[in-house]
A and B are shown apart, each in its own frame.
Chain A
Amino acid sequence: MTDKNQNKANNITLGKFSLIAVAMFGFGFALAPMYEAFCQAFGINGRFVEIQDGTYDSSNKVANITEVDKSRLVKVQFTASRNQNMNWEFKALESIVEVNPGEIRVVKFYAKNNTDKTVIAQAVPSVSPGRATKYLNKIECFCFTQQTFKPGEAREMPLRFVVDPALPGKISTLTLAYTFFDTQNRRASNMTDNSRETKLAVNSVVTNAQQ
């Protein structure tokens, strides 16, 4: 009977397209890692995807930087913000430095927890212009790990960085911005992303070993 064949054909079509729909649902989630890959490759949003993922390997980043490019100076600006509800002081102690690409520099940031609670905070770095992101290498940074501040605690935190001499000549001013987020200050504060914390912890061991 053609009717039977027809039903069969319809069910096959249903199956096929249901599979496509399920696959596209997965694709929606796959956009997240794809976006990260794009961000890393093209410096979209000035994100340091590897730092955020806890896979940043600072020694590898500076391995190829062997000499200092004395022929030009690059202005590096620093700025600091806190995300909502954080009664902290947070500022860059030097707001602008001029460096030769390839030269390792240290600048300090100051943070003070003005609350009477212990706060675990994560600094999120971002660079403008975005395409300079991959040329601004951090050797030591308080953004590699979560920072714990006791009530009223104040701390100076160093940032050791080097600008890759491969930085395109057109870029003469870089801005590195940090935003401190209170990690407990999220809607679902009782649920923490364990995998991420582990990655960051491992990373901090690596960073410490390098020093």
Chain B
Amino acid sequence: MPASKITKKLSSLICMALVLIPGLAFADYELNLTESVTALGKEIYDLHMLVLIICTVVCVAVFAVIIYSLINHRKSKGAKPATFHESATVEFIWTVIPFIILVIIAVPATKVLLKIEDASNPDLTIKATGWQWKWEYEYLDNGVHFFSNLDKASNDARQLGSKTDPRTVPNYLLDVDNPIVVPVNKKVRILTTANDVIHAWWVPELAVKRDAIPGFINESWFKAEKTGVYRGQCAELCGKDHGFMPIVVNVVSDSEYNDWVASQKKAMAAAKASAGKTWSKADLMKRGEEVYNASCAACHQANGQGIPGVFPGIAGSKVATGPVEGHIDIVINGKPGTAMQAFGTQLSPADSAAVITFQRNAFGNNTGDVVQPSQISR
């Protein structure tokens, strides 16, 4: 970071600190829990405020007593030490009072919790499957199915040593290529599970956070009362790119939702149809680079060098310069016991063909091979 930037930051910080006293400077910065757009989320927020206020009041009261004592009961002021060292009454009172306060907190907490755990009678059910490091969504009611990756702009900017200033990237690290779309004012049930390690599906404004555990299914729900785009992130450490698998939920009107479902179905049909088509090398390379950046670069790195000892490189690798069949096999079926996933289940044949073509002709792997979708057996 250039020194001038640090100075600038420092001076702005000092300015912030100066105006902190009237409490205006932080108007732009979130200080408190994110306010929710669901009724249940608002109840959670209220519960949070109740506990926060109780804690603050008690804290201030105790601190006031200590500070009074620190100021007045000091030797330099000639204070003589008292001799009391216990009092059954006082000790009884200050054991009972916290207990009563806790009961006051526990009652609303129980009420809200029971509502959170009642996911029955949903209008729509979406299964979110956590992968290292992306989300797979499946709409159980209408069969819409897609993967959701970190968007390209963020992904480029977040690389070590990238020249892009994240501040210039809109919704840095909080945007995806395919957001999920849900209708407003409908009870949406989210089923979470995982493909590999434990992830957690979290959108603060929808007040939902639930672990996604491989082999098991969990449920949670929300009913957004306002249209808009709500962003969240994976909340359970899931490996290297844990910080780079955001969640975007687009809450729209009923009719927009129906249009979206129709267009998704069309796109899925088109992807199926494209499997038989023959592509030009230039088209394959162009599409292949996009797929590579979305699906491969997290491990094999944008420059194809991999991370020594952890993720093998693509540049000059035996697989990418050897027989085409072996390359297709490893991309489609993955490599058991390693982080290499079976991309045959994630990518369409066209995308698989494109990315294999790209890998065989990029990073100095000038094999000249062109792989067509028809070569990808399903």
**Residues of chain A at the chain B interface (Cβ within 8 Å):** 45-47, 77, 79, 81-89, 95-96, 114-117, 124, 126-129, 170-173, 175, 177, 179, 181-182, 184-187, 189
Contact = CB atoms under 8 A, between A and B. Distances in A.
Contacts of A114: 332-333, 344, 377-378
Given A83-B195, A84-B341, A96 B336 contact: no
Given A86-B345, A96-B140, A126 B334 contact: no
Interface residues of B, number: 39
A171 B217 contact: no
B259 interface: no
B47 interface: no
A114 B117 CA distance: 38
A33 to B, nearest CB: 19
20 contacts: A47-B216, A77-B125, A79-B138, A81-B127, A83-B196, A85-B334, A87-B342, A87-B344, A95-B141, A95-B143, A114-B332, A114-B378, A117-B333, A128-B219, A170-B120, A172-B121, A173-B189, A177-B127, A185-B336, A186-B337
Contact of A79 (B120, B140, B340): B140
Interface in B88-142: 117-122, 125, 127, 129, 138, 140-141
B56 interface: no
Contacts of B121: 172-173
A187 B336 CA distance: 8
Given A79-B140, A81-B193, A114-B344, A187 B217 contact: no
A160 to B, nearest CB: 21
A88 to B, nearest CB: 7
B217 A126 contact: yes
Given A77-B140, A82-B345, A88-B345, A115 B333 contact: yes
Interface string B349-377: 00000000000000000000000000001
Contacts of B214: 83-84, 179
A128 B336 contact: no
B337 A187 contact: yes
Nearest to B218: A128
B216 A45 contact: yes
Contacts of A179: 193, 214-216
